[in-house]
Amino acid sequence: MLLDEDPATLIHHTVGNFNIQPDKQAITRINDSLSTLQQSRELRISDAESALRKLSRNLHSQNSQYEEAVAAHDSGKHAEQIVELDTRKFRVAKAASDLEVESERLEGELEMLKERLADLEAQGLEGDEPTRRERELDDATILRLKIYRSLGVDIEADDAGNFNKAVIRNSRKGDVHVVNVDSKFSRFFYANYFWSTMQG
């Protein structure tokens, strides 16, 4: 009988049956994704800075051309050309400003990603201390849920963490029953109902 065995032995076997390899692989994939994202951000920042330098050179060139045109020609005769140059200068300046804003935004994202990566590396594979404590506190609940699941009963929690729904599967009949657990009925009532549903 299950309860005749030593609880420490049961817990030891349960912990031994946990497969943490997928979790390790998931963390590795996360680290790879963060590294790739960081490289992508750095590349985008580099491209933005290159475009900004190019636009700055273009702006300087346009300014020089504008000054030469003003010096060489009568401004009254070339008002249309001056307006066009002013418009181009405004567009170039706006594009340079937009690129500068985008560059600053990307730098901010890069810093956030670096901080997140540092946090993940500091936490290690097991997570931070509050996460480890929470996992230890939930070990008993996880063991109960595994036992229920092995009997064909899945217990679901609501947003507040209260277990108030059960999905009961009868493999012999191919039936599935969903039961909403209400506090107005006793545990004895639900135990009998679950058992009869599994056996029925």
Indicate if the pLDDT at residue 7 is higher than 70: yes
Whether the pLDDT of residue 191 is over 90: the answer is no
Architecture, CATH, for domain 139-199 = 2-Layer Sandwich (3.30)
Alpha-carbon distances, residue 136 vs 107, 121, 126, 139 (angstroms):
39, 21, 12, 5
Please report, for the chain, the start and end positions of each structural domain, with discontinuous segments joined by +: 79-124, 139-199
Position 136 confidence tier, pLDDT thresholds 50, 70, 90: low
- The helix (H) or strand (E) run that includes residue 66 is helix 21-72
Q: What is the pLDDT, as a whole number, of residue 12?
A: 76
Per-residue confidence (pLDDT) for residue 155, from 0 to 100: 76
Q: For the chain, give the percent of residues with pLDDT over 70.
A: 80
* Look-up of token digits 């249309």: 80
For residue 120, which of 39, 45, 38, 21 has the smallest C-alpha distance? 38
Scan for tokens 């290690």, then name that residue: 124
Instruction: Round to whole Å and give the CA distance between 69 and 1.
Output: 99
Provide the pLDDT for residue 1: 45
Q: Supply the pLDDT for residue 152.
A: 72
Task: Name 165's Cβ contacts closer than 8 Å, sequence gap at least 6.
Answer: 155, 156, 158, 178, 179, 180, 181
pLDDT of residue 197: 74
pLDDT tens digits for range 57-111: 999 999 998 888 777 766 566 678 888 888 899 999 999 999 999 999 999 889 9
